[in-house]
Amino acid sequence: MEASFHSSKKLCPSYVGKVGAQLFGVVNKDGRVQFITPLTVTEEFIQQNDHLEQRFRFTGKCVEKGCGQWDNEESKCSLSKKVQNLDTVKNTGLSFCPIRSQCRWFSQDGNEACFSCNEVTRNMEELLLKI
């Protein structure tokens, strides 16, 4: 993995684990995500780890209309509100997040988008699509 990450584009906090993505969270034994300074995902990392999206959080450029979660009418990501509506224990304060300043969800919904974020892994997306 390589440490380097700078961009002025909005980032998706529920990105696919693939080469070139940025690893920015690790799921702890309690199921909560511990955020870390982003590292670039390499082919070697993918080969050494299974169940990537159940164990890690990734970020990458938000592709807006190129994503199935994009709401064209409202011009924003619909997944952010679905995450906020999950029946989970919500943080009442902001914890460390290495992508907050560029995060699509935070730019849309402010602090509310952050309160459930460390409860989410990408594999939950299938459940959220049913909401």
pLDDT at 53: 86
Q: Would you state the pLDDT for residue 49? A: 94
pLDDT in tens, 76-88: 999 998 888 877 6
pLDDT at 13 over 80: yes
Mean confidence (pLDDT) of the chain: 86
pLDDT on residue 92? 73
β-bridge pairing 22-27 and 33-40: antiparallel
Q: What percent of the chain has pLDDT over 90?
A: 57
Q: What is the pTM of this model?
A: 0.84
E strand or H helix that includes residue 37: strand 33-40
Instruction: Give the Å distances, CA to CA, from 85 to 88, 91, 130.
Output: 8, 13, 13
Give the tens place of pLDDT for each residue, 34-46.
Answer: 999 999 999 999 9
- pLDDT at residue number 7: 44
Residue ranges of alpha helices (H) inside 1-131 are 43-48, 52-55, 79-84, 104-109, 111-114, 125-128
